[in-house]
């Protein structure tokens, strides 16, 4: 939720749990409780729009989820070789460019032959790997997994995405 950084969201939920006497967060109960707290800092976040607009936003989110995770498969071959080499790569069908999200966003069809599409996907892959490492590093290292390879992949993807942008700007 863009309006509240992670630490503030944690504090809001902790405060709710303390105020309600609960030891487990139930989203539906929180929303019901918040509805009676118009002075709460998160009230506008949940109740700051008319129900019709909230329903529309919910439907838009459902449409995003419907498109999320779809894949295309691309077969590439090199006819120059004496032995034909075919490689199969899987890509998302649609991507949501991060640079457009603050303007309302949207999804673009992924084009595996477009350097812009590839660059955007590399940037998003690097971010997703870094997020994964931040969330799951402890449980993986707890039983001895070495995450160096994942760290290196995330770094190369990030650098490649950034260097490509700098080359095209300069």
Evaluate whether residue 152 is within a structural domain. Answer: yes
Across the chain, mean pLDDT equals 84
- For the chain, the domain total comes to 1
Evaluate whether residue 30 is within a structural domain. Answer: no
Mean of pLDDT values over 52-59? 91
Q: HEC string of 46-101?
A: HHCCCHHHHHHHHHHHHHHHHHCCCEEEEEEECCCCCCCCEEEEEEECEECCHHHH
Mean of pLDDT values over 20-46? 91
Evaluate whether residue 124 is within a structural domain. Answer: yes
Evaluate whether residue 13 is within a structural domain. Answer: no
Examine the pLDDT at 81 and tell me if it is beyond 50: yes
- Residue 119: domain span: 114-170
Examine the pLDDT at 2 and tell me if it is beyond 60: no
Long-range CB contact pairs, 149-156, < 8 A, 24+: 153/129, 154/125, 154/126, 154/129, 154/130, 155/126
Mean of pLDDT values over 35-63? 91
Examine the pLDDT at 137 and tell me if it is beyond 90: yes
Evaluate whether residue 90 is within a structural domain. Answer: no
Mean of pLDDT values over 81-90? 71
Examine the pLDDT at 134 and tell me if it is beyond 60: yes
Does the predicted model carry a pTM greater than 0.85?
no
Examine the pLDDT at 21 and tell me if it is beyond 80: yes
Evaluate whether residue 140 is within a structural domain. Answer: yes
Evaluate whether residue 94 is within a structural domain. Answer: no
């Amino acid at each position: 939720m863009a309006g509240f950084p992670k630490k503030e969201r944690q504090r809001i939920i902790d405060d709710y749990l303390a105020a309600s006497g609960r030891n487990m967060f139930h989203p539906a109960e929180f929303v019901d409780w918040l509805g009676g707290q118009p002075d709460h800092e998160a009230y506008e976040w949940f109740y700051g729009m008319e129900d019709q607009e909230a329903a529309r936003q919910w439907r838009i989110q459902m449409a995003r989820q419907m498109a999320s995770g779809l894949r295309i498969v691309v077969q590439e071959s090199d006819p120059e070789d004496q032995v034909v080499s075919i490689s199969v790569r899987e890509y998302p069908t649609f991507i949501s460019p991060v640079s457009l999200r603050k303007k309302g966003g949207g999804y673009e069809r992924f084009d595996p032959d477009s350097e812009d599409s590839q660059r955007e996907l590399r940037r998003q892959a690097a971010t997703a790997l870094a997020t994964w490492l931040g969330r799951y590093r402890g449980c993986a290292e707890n039983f001895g997994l070495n995450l160096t390879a994942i760290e290196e992949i995330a770094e190369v993807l990030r650098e490649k995405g950034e260097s490509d942008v700098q080359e095209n700007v300069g």
